[in-house]
Chains A and B, each alone.
Chain A
Amino acid sequence: MTDRAAPDYTTMRRAHSDAAPGVTKFQPLSRIIAHDDFNSGTHGWTQLSGNYDAAGNLDTLEPQMSDFRPPQLSSCNFYDVGTHGAVSGTYALKMATRPIKGHTATAIRRLTMPVRGKVQLEAYFTYKSEARALDPKNAPPKEWDGNYHPSEDLFGAFTLGSDMDDGTRYHVVARYMNTTMDNVPDRRWWAPTVVEPTGKERFDGKVNYSKLDDFTAPNPDDWKPFTEPQDLCYNEVPTKINWHYLRWQFDTETRTNVELQVNDRIYDTSQVDVPLYTEKYRSLNGLLNFYFSVRTHADVRNFLYIDSALVSIDW
């Protein structure tokens, strides 16, 4: 006899989510907070910026957070094929660095925590360096050989970050280090062992970083790899873009990482550092921010593209 028991609320909600166009390519937790398809705007993913004084004087911005560039709605448009397009529709969110070694571009989405518990960011992403880096000083580390294209190693790193405060402020971070700062392939996922510098520290005269310093953790010694190398699909030249699935989960109840999935690799990140601020903050209660960033390790523009992103919570 067929079981005709009415599906419960969770099953029904799941069914609705799974049937929604655009959501089926994700594996959300029970409640979807945001589903951002960049065919309909930037959905609140905006340029990260530092703090400034009461007069609104932008000279008071922390130098390392003063020039992150605005994200773009990109049709993934290239010199050899024209418009490439994204996974869902024509447009993706693009972060683009300047062609200056150490420069970073960002996109941040600002939410708060409705509850504490598991939080998950999913996205389809791809990454590229400038299609033609014509300046001879950008001489590639290795020559083109028909398959290998030097632009692959002119891409530096991209980073996932989340900034949270539940009475204690902390970040969770995962960085794909495509190359070292000398453009030598690394391909591992890294996390910082220290908290991100803040404007208050600079105001108090404790630190003063330069414009091109790594805003997430400026000292390279404060980063640790937590995986073996993972080769992604760069697809040889800088104008063929192949999209990767990413799922990144952490727990705001326990202030721990949970796991990172990139295509078929699932990393248990529960032991990856989550440094806590010792300082208490006002006006950050329940803060839940997500950011993507891209940093070039050469005098060549680097790009990170997000086709769509989904934030869900175990709620």
Chain B
Amino acid sequence: MTTVNESLTVLIERNTEFASEFATEPYEVAWAREARWFVVLDEPPNGVEFRLETEISPDGLDWCPLEDVQPHVAGSRVTSWSVRDFGGWLRVRGSVAGQGQVKGSIFLALKA
């Protein structure tokens, strides 16, 4: 039987106001080979630095940065970056610096 590769897109944060520092909820991705984050904001982040760092975990409890992945700075309304070799769990740690708020969604697109 012909099969296609599994894929799954989820909204890790949906229509959320991001402020100061935050970490997204743990998400299990052991089945996936590759992942791509999308940040879709209501407005471009003018005057605000919205910085996102990919983190990984062996168990969903203890976290460290994914090595060799630079922190992502969302410089326009829709931005994206990809990650591989992340083990079983993913989340992003984010920070908002400057005047104003950032509002929008963080997608995670996964493929086996």
Contact = CB atoms under 8 A, between A and B. Distances in A.
Interface in A48-84: 58-59, 61, 66-67, 69-70, 72-75, 77-79, 82-83
Nearest to B62: A79
Given A41-B6, A77-B30, A131 B88 contact: no
Interface in B1-54: 6, 8, 10-12, 14-15, 25-28, 30-31
B75 interface: no
Given A83-B30, A94-B28, A75 B8 contact: no
B100 interface: no
A78 B59 contact: yes
Grouping DSSP codes into helix (H, G, I), strand (E, B) and loop, the B interface class, with mixed when no group exceeds half, is: loop
A131 B14 CA distance: 26
Contacts of A202: none
Nearest to B15: A58
Contact of A77 (B25, B59, B62): B59
Given A66-B15, A72-B27, A77 B8 contact: no
Contacts of A61: 15
B59 A79 contact: yes
Interface residues of A, number: 28
A250 interface: no
A96 interface: yes
Interface in A94-133: 94, 96, 98, 130-132
Interface of B: 6, 8, 10-12, 14-15, 25-28, 30-31, 58-62, 88-89
15 contacts: A40-B6, A41-B8, A69-B25, A72-B10, A72-B28, A77-B58, A77-B59, A77-B60, A79-B58, A82-B59, A90-B30, A91-B31, A96-B25, A131-B59, A131-B61
Given A69-B25, A79-B58, 9 more contacts: A40-B6, A66-B15, A73-B8, A73-B31, A79-B59, A79-B62, A90-B30, A94-B28, A131-B61
